[in-house]
Homo-oligomer: A and B are copies of this chain.
Amino acid sequence: MYLHPLSGLTLATALGLAQLPALAAPVQIKAPAELPARATIADAVKASKPSDWRPLDPDNTLYLEIPAGRVVLELAPDFAPKHVANIKALVAEQYYDGLAITRAQDNWVVQWGDPDEKNPKPIQHAQRTLPGEFTVPLTGIKNFTRLPDGDGYAPQVGHSNGFPSARDPKSGTAWLTHCYATLGVGRDNASDSGGGTELYVVIGQSPRHLDRDITVVGRVVAGMPLLSTLPRGTAPMGFYDSPDKNVPIKAIRLAASVPLAQRANLEVMRTDSAAYQAVLEAQRHRGGPWSKVTAGHIDVCNAPIPVREVGSK
């Protein structure tokens, strides 16, 4: 079993030997020293208490049902109140049902919406477009837990109620960061041209250069592989080149409107908990026996947020 992402706790005894450089060079590379054992992410999860977890709020959880199965999306009303309300209104009138995933661009996004641009599906009660909510006043965001680690894209990064996020005290703004699994609102050139009829999910390297430039409304908490393994589109920007390649959306439902027995029974580790600090520390400073070097740093988009069945260990 090679390339363990999460090391165990057994102390390694064998010492690694220095690799003498093959190129003639004046510098000697030091042998990677063995690291002491440290708690892993799995250990941090195991040591957590029930109070370190929160169930998904059924009023802010969506189920995206596609032929391959269910993708569970958590909405972040604090960061995009009008868009979240509008997306819930679109869900309530079953706007998305029968639409399709029309785009899958490698190392970028999967996107869905109305594949019929000529005869767009009518909207009953929701809005088609809204002014962008690219940032919100940071005073409205509670439970921000700041990472001490630096970030190149924002003055401060951390987590707010389970979402990777950033803030700029100078401008008084906060926003959700674009990470793997981030859920955002597609728009055209005008900042008020999106509203939730087109949604995308990040399936690659965090495109942080989109931060503050588009409305982010949440993240995928379960089912990412159903999106990340979709065939990539071959038309420009990863759009599918013919309608028969589109992936149909059977339905998008608010969890609260789904019978209890059919809901995903998931809980998410609270990002303002001590348990989550232990998760971050395990990633930031990995120990032996697999790891020989500790990174000493964590990127906000490399901070895993544990999700599990309610009450599982």
| A contact residues vs B (CB 8 Å cutoff) | 1-5, 12, 14, 16-19, 21-23, 25-27, 29-32, 78, 81-82, 105-109, 111, 113, 130-140, 149-153, 171-173, 179-181, 184, 186-192, 194, 198, 200, 204-209, 211-214, 224-225, 228-232, 237, 239, 283-284, 286, 288-293, 295, 297-299, 301-302
Contact = CB atoms under 8 A, between A and B. Distances in A.
A189 B205 CA distance: 27
A212 B19 contact: no
Kindly list the 7 A-B residue pairs having the minimum CB-CB distance in the complex, ordered from nearest. Answer: A16-B191, A2-B186, A25-B137, A27-B172, A23-B140, A209-B295, A27-B137
A184 B3 CA distance: 10
B14 A134 contact: no
A133 to B, nearest CB: 5
A270 B289 CA distance: 39
A209 B3 contact: no
A24 to B, nearest CB: 8
Contacts of A152: 149-152, 297-299
Nearest to A288: B189
Contacts of A108: 5
A284 B153 CA distance: 10
A21 B225 CA distance: 35
Given A2-B188, A27-B173, A205 B205 contact: yes
Contacts of A224: 106-107
A207 B290 CA distance: 15
Contacts of A25: 136-137, 139-140
Contacts of A16: 131-132, 190-192
A18 to B, nearest CB: 7
B107 A208 contact: no
A237 B42 CA distance: 12
Nearest to A172: B27
Contacts of A30: 171
